Chains A and B, each alone.
Chain A
Amino acid sequence: MDATILLFLVQDGLTNGAIYALLGFALVLLFTVTRTIFIPQGDFVAYGALTYALLRAGHLPGTVKLLAVFGATALAVELWSRRRDLTPGFIATQCATKLGVPLAIWAVVAVLGAAPRPVLLDLALTIAIVGPMGPYLYRIVFQPLGGATVLTLFIAAVAVHIALIALGLAFFGPEGQRAPALIATSLKLGPVVVSGQSLAVYATTILLTAALSAFFALTLRGKALHASAVNALGARLVGIDTHVSAKIAFALAATIGAVSGVLIVPMTTIYYDSGFVIGLKGFVAAIFGGLGSFIITGIAAFSVGIVEALASFFASSFKEIIVFSLIIPVLLVRSARSHHGDDEDH
């Protein structure tokens, strides 16, 4: 192997690693705020990828209808849970946020039709379609489980994953999709050629990471989300609605998933069920970070990407095994440590 191949592999690894980092961040965010080990994170990736690819090709993606189904279901759950004190104002806001939003998005996509559009507009539409699925799913599945154990929430998350795969098949069909590169040109840095697609991935990852950091460090809403994660009862005592915190976390996670899908679909063909394995690699990174540290998760994600790239060159048939084996020592160390008292506090 010469240096060129190595550089190529590292670049490939960093590109994938950036996407795993985004997914890892979403998993850490959801776990800290809602204690949910969110297995379906990868499904948001597949949904985002397929939605974007179909929009790009001028089709109406099935997720537009699926979003309306999720919204209507969430609306029904919400109204039923509040059936004893319904007010017209409450019903109106609920209808607007859970039915009005998906229908408006549907209308926009239908009106835009097959006319060619800028990449950024399709990216925005993809986020608008997949992003709200997060809070709707929270309302339908996880909010009613409030106070459940991590294991119960995990089992519910697995159920959601299975449902999303089935719905993905129903609404997208079995065909895979691939989209053109986000940036067609490439950049030559000495001996290295960095593809425009890779640049788009790096730029998006840096931008999203910076935006998330600023959100948590600088805004009161971000601090409220952090507070909900640190001490949910404390948050409620100061008047923070922890369900709103959870919905924001789910919206952010679904948005991150959708963006990751947009980043990935020009690089590989994505099918309705391709998300799981991609999400699992973000999960490996998040496990390294103990489902709590964004920084360690980020570093681990890039390591996973590079190990995966090298493994695919040297031992391609063992690629996945090598990547997933990475978590075994982490789990061993963590479980050995957890016997000496947890440093978590509540």
Chain B
Amino acid sequence: MTASPIPAASASAAPASAPAALLAVNAMSVNHGPVPAVVDVSIDVAPGEIVTVIGANGAGKSSLLNAIMGITPGSGEVTFAGTPIRRHPVEARARLGLALVPEKRELFSTMSVIDNLTLGGWTATPAERKRTLEEVLDRFPRLRERRTQMAKTMSGGERQMLAMGRALMSRPKLLMLDEPSLGLAPRIVGEIFRIIADLRASGVSILLVEQNAKAALNAADRAYVMELGAVILQGPAADLAADPRVAGIYLGV
């Protein structure tokens, strides 16, 4: 962990994005009516990397992820695994190996845990689906215990695990998590971050949006800090964690 000075790059000073980036977002802007939620944001994620986007409420983090997934329209180029996906609908992006666990989880509330997970493997072959289901149930023993329970009757932490499990069922190349610790007790948050670390060890790339900056910076390789829709800081997560500006604003130190 080098204590090098932070490259306080502005969003327009395009970083040297490796040509092999798994996800490259270039000059993304998102407007909700007259409200600019994301302003000219460029980020990228390399294969095997955990990248986090942190920022206060309303900074535009969810809007950014939703635009990358194609849920809300945004201007700007998005390249995923070498394919420009600007014109792809959500389901086509999912089929390319892009997965999002959105802020509201969007589970199939009146369906069982197993049905939710099985549908998560919609794009896989039956054999693959079966194999991945076992892996996901091993990773989340809680879900195995509750396999026949209806999603809407589960606790917040269980729902989060189900949402992550459902996203993993497609064996995504990139897993995007929108505030996985939102509304969860500290013990469960610890469990979620342990799972994120596990996933990274198994080679899944992750784009993590968090308000819990400390935990996110701990888990990530690189980080972007957003404020009022723009990226105001970026760099290695360890460096940002040590940066007084980040500490002052987001860690509540």
Contacts and interface: CB of A to CB of B under 8 A. Distances in A.
Interface string A210-244: 00000000001001101100110111111111100
A270 B95 CA distance: 47
A238 B94 contact: yes
A241 B119 contact: no
Given A236-B89, A237-B94, A237-B99, A224 B106 contact: no
A237 B109 contact: no
Contacts of A175: none
A241 B111 contact: no
A85 interface: yes
Nearest to A241: B91
Interface of B: 69, 71, 87, 89-91, 94-95, 99-100, 102, 106-111, 115, 118-123, 152, 166-167, 169-170
Contacts of B106: 231, 233-234, 237
B91 A227 contact: no
Contact of A220 (B109, B118, B167): B118
Given A234-B108, A236-B94, A224 B87 contact: no
B111 A230 contact: yes
A231 B108 CA distance: 6
A193 to B, nearest CB: 44
Contacts of B108: 226-227, 230-231, 234-235
Given A239-B94, A240-B91, A231 B107 contact: yes
A345 interface: yes
Contact of B118 (A84, A223, A230, A242): A223
A238 B109 contact: no
A230 B111 CA distance: 8
Interface of A: 84-85, 220, 223-224, 226-227, 230-231, 233-242, 345
Contacts, number: 71
A230 B120 contact: no
Nearest to A236: B90
Given A224-B122, A227-B108, A345-B152, A237 B90 contact: yes
A240 B115 CA distance: 14
A85 to B, nearest CB: 6
A224 B109 contact: no
Nearest to A226: B111
Contacts of A85: 87
Nearest to B71: A233
A241 B94 CA distance: 10
Contacts of A239: 91, 94-95, 122-123, 170
A240 B87 contact: no
Given A85-B87, A233-B106, A238 B111 contact: no
A43 to B, nearest CB: 31
17 contacts: A223-B118, A227-B108, A230-B111, A231-B107, A233-B90, A234-B106, A236-B89, A236-B94, A237-B100, A237-B102, A238-B119, A238-B120, A239-B91, A239-B95, A240-B122, A241-B89, A345-B109
Given A238-B119, A239-B170, A223 B94 contact: no
A241 B122 CA distance: 10
Q: What 10 A-B pairs are tightest by C-beta distance, nearest first?
A: A234-B106, A239-B94, A236-B90, A239-B123, A230-B108, A236-B91, A238-B122, A227-B108, A239-B95, A239-B122
Given A227-B119, A237-B100, 9 more contacts: A223-B118, A231-B107, A235-B91, A236-B90, A236-B91, A238-B94, A238-B166, A240-B122, A241-B91
B91 A234 contact: no
Contacts of B119: 220, 223-224, 227, 235, 238, 240
A227 B120 CA distance: 11
A336 B90 CA distance: 38
Contacts of B87: 84-85
With most chain B CB atoms within 10 A of its CB, the pick from A85, A223, A230, A242 is: A230
With most chain B CB atoms within 10 A of its CB, the pick from A220, A237, A239, A242 is: A237
Contacts of A345: 109-110, 152
B131 to A, nearest CB: 16
B170 A223 contact: no
A202 to B, nearest CB: 31
B201 to A, nearest CB: 24
Contact of A238 (B89, B110, B152, B170): B170
Nearest to B106: A234
A230 B115 CA distance: 12
Contacts of B69: 237
Contacts of B91: 235-236, 239-242
A65 B100 CA distance: 45
B107 A234 contact: yes
Contacts of B110: 230, 345
Contacts of A242: 91
Contacts of A226: 108, 111
